[in-house]
Chain A
Amino acid sequence: MRTGQILMGVAVVAFAVAVMVQAASVGARWTEGQAGPGFFPFWLGALLAVCGAIVLVQSLRRPDAAKFFHDRTALASVLKVTATAAGLLVLTYLIGFRLASIGYLFVYTRYIGKHRWPAVIAMSLIIPISGYYIFERVLQVALPRGILEIPYLD
C-alpha cells in the first residue's frame, strides 16, 4: 500500500507539472484586461502539485505494512475484469462493437464465469442483441464499426 501511495503521489505531481507546462504554453498571464486561457488551469496545476507533494512526503514518512492486494485471487480477479474489458475494445476496433460484444460475453460467461453452455449462449446473444435494438434502432446511436466490419450486418 505504501508503494501505491508513493506512486500515486508521483503521478499526481507529474500530471500537475505537465498541466502547468501545457497551460503556460497557451498563455497563463494577465493580458488585455483579462486572464489568458491558461491562467486558471495553470494555478490549479500549481495547487495540485503542492497537494501531490504533501501526499508524497506523508506516504514516505508513514510506514504502512498493508499490501495493496490482500492476496493473489484479488489481483487475479481485478486483472481478469480489466483485461477482458480492454480486449472488447481491441476487438471492437477490428470487427465492430456488435460482433465484439457477443464474443466478449461468450468468453466471460464461459471461461471466467464457467456457466453452462445453454446459459452462455443465451446470455451472449440476448444481451448484445437487445443492446443493439435499444441503442441502434430505438435511440439511433450508431455503435462503433470495426475496420473489418461485415457489410451485410447492416
Chain B
Amino acid sequence: MGTAFHDLSYGLGVAVHPLNLLAGALGVIVGTTIGVIPALGPTQGAALLLPIVFRLPPATGLIFLSGLYMGAIYGGSVTSILFNIPGTPMSVASAFDGYPMAMKGQGARALAGSALSAFIAGTGCIVLFTFFARPLAEYALTWGPPEYFSVMLLAYAALAGLEGGSLVKSSISVLLGLILTAIGVDIITGMPRITFGSTNLLAGIKFLVVVVGMFGIGELLRAAEENIMSKSAVKAKVRLADIVGALKEMSGYWKTFLRSTLIGFWIGVLPGTGATPASFVGYGLAKRFSKNPEKFGTGVLEGVVAPESAASSAEVGSLLPLVTLGIPGSPTAAVILGALMIWGLQPGPLLMVDHPEIVWGFIASMYIAAVLSMVLNMFAIPLWTQILKIPFTVQVPLIVFLCYIGGYTENNTLFTMWMVLVFGVIGFFFKKLGYPLSPLVVAIVLGDDTESSFRRSLIISGGNPSIFFTRPVSLSLLLLALALFLFPLVSPAMKRFRKQPAPGPAAETGDRAA
C-alpha cells in the first residue's frame, strides 16, 4: 500500500517537470486531433509520430505518447457522438446511444457523460494499476523462457478469440505477423532466411513499416472507398450545467459503471486485447443487465457511459502487461513497446528496477494526460469539430506524405517507402475481406521474442516439447490460452443453450454499418 503511493508520487515528480508537462499537453492536443480525424486512430498516430518521438529523451517521449493515447480516445468519442463518424474503432460503441442523444439535442450531455465516465474509470484503473504493477513484475522475474512463450501464445489466443469475426482469419493474421518478423537474419544462428533472394529483405521487415502502411495507408484507402464526407455537425457546447447534470444522472448508473470498469480493466490486462473489444463487451453487458434493454440505441446516457468507461479502463489495463511483462495489452501498447525498444529499453520486469523514473513517470503522466484531455475536450469541442471540415482531398496527400517519411526513417531506403505502399494495399484488402489487423501488429512486435523463447525453451529441455506442459505456470497460461482461443466457438453454443437474444459484441458491430 505504502509503496504504491510512494511509487506514484515519485512518478508525479517526474511527470510535472516543465518539459515533460509540456510534452504531455502537446501529446493531448496532437492525440485529440488524430482521434477526431476518421482515418487516424491512436495506433496509427503513435506509429506516425514515432520517428519524431524516439529522438526525445525516453521519459519525455513516453509522456508525449501517453498524452497522445488519452487525447485520441477522447477525440474519437467527440466525432462519434456528434457526427456518427467514429474517429477510432474503440469509439464505435459510443455512437450507438451518443448519436441519437445528439440528434435529440442532448449532445452536450452525452459528451459530458462520455468524458466524465472515461475520466473516472481511467483514474480508478490507474490506481488499480499502481497496486498490481510491482507484485506482478516481481513475480515475472521468476519466469523462464517457457513461461514467456506461453504468455505470448496467450496474447495471440486472446487476440484471435476476443476480436470477433472469423477464428481462421484471425489466426492467419497472427501467423503472417510472425512470419514477417522471421524474414531477414535469424537472431540465434545469424543465418539469412526467407529473403526470396532480395538483398533489401536481409535487414528484415520492421514493425514501423507494416504499421504505418497497414493502418496509415490502408485506413486511408478505406476512407477513400467509403467516401467519408464532412457531415453537417450537430452543434454542441458543453456548459457547467451539462457536466453537473450528467454527473447527477450517472450516479444512478453506478452499477453499470463499476461493471464496465472492472470488465474493461480485465480485458485490457489480457495480453493483446484492448479498448475496442472492451467497449463492445461493456455495452453488451449493460444492455443485458438493464431493466429496460429496449431503450438502448434510442439515446440513453447509460449506453454512452458503459462503452466509454470500459474502453478507458482497458486502455489503462493494457499497459500493465506491457510494463511488467513486456507483452503489449493492445495494438497501441504494441507501438509503445516498439518505441521502448528503439530507445534501447527492454520492457519487462527489470525495467521497473533499472529505470523506475521511466515506468512511474509514464504511469503518472497517464493521470495528468487524463486530466488535461478532459479539460481540453470539455471546453474546446467547437474547435475540434472544425478539424472535420478539412477536406478529405487535403488529408490524403498529407497522410501519405507522413506515412512515407515515417516508414523511411526505419532504415533510410526508398525500398521501405514502397513497402509502406504495398502493406497499405494489403491492409486495405485484409480489412475489406474481414481479416483483422491488430493480431498481425501484435505478432510483429512480439515475433522475435516468441521465436527465441520457444527455441531457448527447447534448448533447455534438449528438444523435448513437454517443457511447456510440465511447468505449472506455463501449463496454466497455455490452458487459459486454449480457453480464450476456443471462446468464439463456445459462446454461440452457450447463447443458444440459454435461449436469450444475443447482445454480444458481434451483433453490435453489424449495426454500425447502417
Residues of A participating in the B interface, judged by any CB pair closer than 8 Å: 1, 4-5, 8, 12, 15, 18-19, 22-23, 26-27, 30, 33-41, 44-45, 47-48, 51-52, 54-55, 58, 68-69, 73-75, 77-78, 80-82, 84-86, 88-89, 92-93, 97, 101, 104-105, 108-109, 112-115, 123, 127-128, 131, 134-135, 139, 141-144
0 or 1 for each of B397-424: is its CB under 8 Å from A? (1 = yes): 1101100110011001110011001001
User: How far is it, in angstroms, between the C-alpha of A4 and the C-alpha of B178 when the chains are bound?
Assistant: 24
User: Is B52 in contact with chain A by the CB < 8 A criterion?
Assistant: yes
Which residue of the partner chain, among A33, A40, A74, contacts B227 with CB atoms under 8 Å? A74
List the A side residues contacting B454 at CB < 8 Å.
Answer: 40
List the B side residues contacting A134 at CB < 8 Å.
Answer: 52
User: How far is it, in angstroms, between the C-alpha of A91 and the C-alpha of B178 when the chains are bound?
Assistant: 33
Nearest chain B CB to A53's CB is how many angstroms away?
Answer: 10
- Stretch in contact with the other chain, from B87-95, B188-196, B268-276, B292-300: B188-196
Interface size class of B (residues with CB under 8 A): 35 or more
Given known A55-B172, A81-B224, A85-B400, contact A33–B462 (CB-CB < 8 A): yes
4 closest residue pairs by CB, A with B? A113-B393, A37-B186, A41-B182, A108-B397
Q: Is the CB of A23 within 8 A of B433?
A: no
Q: Is the CB of A128 within 8 A of B401?
A: yes
Q: Is the CB of B397 within 8 A of A109?
A: yes
Given known A54-B168, A86-B421, contact A80–B182 (CB-CB < 8 A): no
Nearest chain A CB to B161's CB is how many angstroms away?
Answer: 15
List the A side residues contacting B225 at CB < 8 Å.
Answer: 69, 74-75, 77-78
Query: Which residues of chain B in 455-490 are interfacial with respect to chain A, using CB atoms and an 8 Å cutoff?
Result: 455, 458-459, 462-463
User: How far is it, in angstroms, between the C-alpha of A27 and the C-alpha of B188 when the chains are bound?
Assistant: 13
User: How far is it, in angstroms, between the C-alpha of A11 and the C-alpha of B196 when the chains are bound?
Assistant: 16
Q: Is the CB of B221 within 8 A of A37?
A: no
User: Is B309 in contact with chain A by the CB < 8 A criterion?
Assistant: no
User: Is B28 in contact with chain A by the CB < 8 A criterion?
Assistant: no
Q: Majority SS of interface residues in chain B? A: helix
The total of Cβ contacts below 8 Å across the A-B interface reads 168
List the B side residues contacting A92 at CB < 8 Å.
Answer: 414, 417
User: Is B512 in contact with chain A by the CB < 8 A criterion?
Assistant: no
Nearest chain B CB to A43's CB is how many angstroms away?
Answer: 10
User: Is B259 in contact with chain A by the CB < 8 A criterion?
Assistant: no
User: How far is it, in angstroms, between the C-alpha of A141 and the C-alpha of B55 when the chains are bound?
Assistant: 11
Q: Is the CB of A143 within 8 A of B455?
A: no
List the B side residues contacting A141 at CB < 8 Å.
Answer: 51, 405, 408-409, 412
Closest to B425 in A: A82
Nearest chain A CB to B404's CB is how many angstroms away?
Answer: 7
Given known A41-B179, A92-B414, contact A78–B227 (CB-CB < 8 A): no
Which of B52, B179, B409, B429 neighbours the largest number of chain A CB atoms within 10 Å of its CB?
A: B179
List the A side residues contacting B52 at CB < 8 Å.
Answer: 134, 139
Q: Is the CB of B433 within 8 A of A4?
A: yes
User: Is B345 in contact with chain A by the CB < 8 A criterion?
Assistant: no
User: How far is it, in angstroms, between the C-alpha of A75 and the C-alpha of B352 when the chains are bound?
Assistant: 50
Closest to A110 in B: B393
Q: Is the CB of A88 within 8 A of B409?
A: no
Nearest chain B CB to A42's CB is how many angstroms away?
Answer: 10
Which of A5, A78, A139 neighbours the largest number of chain B CB atoms within 10 Å of its CB?
A: A78
**A-B pairs with beta carbons under 8 Å apart, 29 shown:** A4-B433, A18-B196, A33-B459, A34-B459, A37-B189, A38-B194, A39-B455, A40-B182, A44-B175, A44-B182, A45-B179, A47-B171, A48-B179, A55-B172, A68-B432, A77-B227, A78-B224, A81-B224, A81-B396, A84-B397, A89-B404, A89-B421, A97-B404, A109-B394, A112-B393, A113-B391, A114-B393, A123-B397, A144-B412
Q: Is the CB of B175 within 8 A of A113?
A: no
Closest to A107 in B: B397
Q: Is the CB of A143 within 8 A of B458?
A: no
Q: Is the CB of B391 within 8 A of A115?
A: yes
0 or 1 for each of B165-186: is its CB under 8 Å from A? (1 = yes): 0101101100110110010001
Query: Which residues of chain B in 191-207 are interfacial with respect to chain A, using CB atoms and an 8 Å cutoff?
Result: 191-196
List the A side residues contacting B412 at CB < 8 Å.
Answer: 141-142, 144
List the B side residues contacting A128 at CB < 8 Å.
Answer: 401
Which residue of the partner chain, among B221, B421, B433, contacts A5 with CB atoms under 8 Å? B433
User: Is B138 in contact with chain A by the CB < 8 A criterion?
Assistant: no
User: Is B449 in contact with chain A by the CB < 8 A criterion?
Assistant: no
List the A side residues contacting B398 at CB < 8 Å.
Answer: 127
Q: Is the CB of B172 within 8 A of A52?
A: yes
User: How far is it, in angstroms, between the C-alpha of A85 and the C-alpha of B221 when the chains are bound?
Assistant: 11
User: How far is it, in angstroms, between the C-alpha of A46 and the C-alpha of B392 when the chains are bound?
Assistant: 42
